Amino acid sequence: MSRSLLATLATAALLGSTMALTALPAHADEITCRGSIGARTIDGSINVPPGATCTLTGTYVKGNVFVRSGSTLTADRAYVEGSVQAQGHRSVVVRNATTVKGDVQLENGRTATLTRSSVGGSLQSKANSGAQSTTFTQVKGDVQYFSNRAAVTISRNTIDGNLQCKSNNPAPTGTGNTVSGNKEDQCRRL
């Protein structure tokens, strides 16, 4: 083989390996949200750190949204492929045609409002100290409100699973819910 042919083959091999490296998909990262994220795609999860406020407007999230202690999340016309998980939150608002493909989990926080949205999994609200409201929302799984210590309103929702409420003080109120499964305990008349 001639030197020029060897040099050409070596160059082609090097270029090919470089192109292969740049063609590899990027790993999904968790980004921190303080402020607002508009109509763009997030290739991973979003973390709302303690005490921060995050607004998602028309945002497409390919992962989960984690809402930390004392933080606030507002999702408006957003799409979340994963779940929304809030622990010790100040406020969570999911509204205006927002879709969460996974679960919405709200625990040991304060207020939460879901309205005119859809949840592909279950909605779980447990041991929250502020008002909880779910209205005009479609939930594919169960809706569970347990041990909340402020007003709970559940009205005009379509729930494919069960509607379960226990140990809330005061008892949940609401009307006009379409439930494919069972209405249980404090929610049996909603």
Domain locations along the chain: 30-185
Q: What is the pLDDT of residue 20?
A: 36
Q: What is the pLDDT of residue 150?
A: 98
The DSSP letter of residue 27 is P
Model-wide pTM > 0.95: no
pLDDT tens track for 28-65: 689 999 999 999 999 999 999 999 999 999 999 999 99
Strand partners, 48: 67
What is the average per-residue pLDDT within 61-76? 99
Q: What is the pLDDT of residue 2?
A: 53
Task: State the amino acid at position 117 in one-letter form.
Answer: S
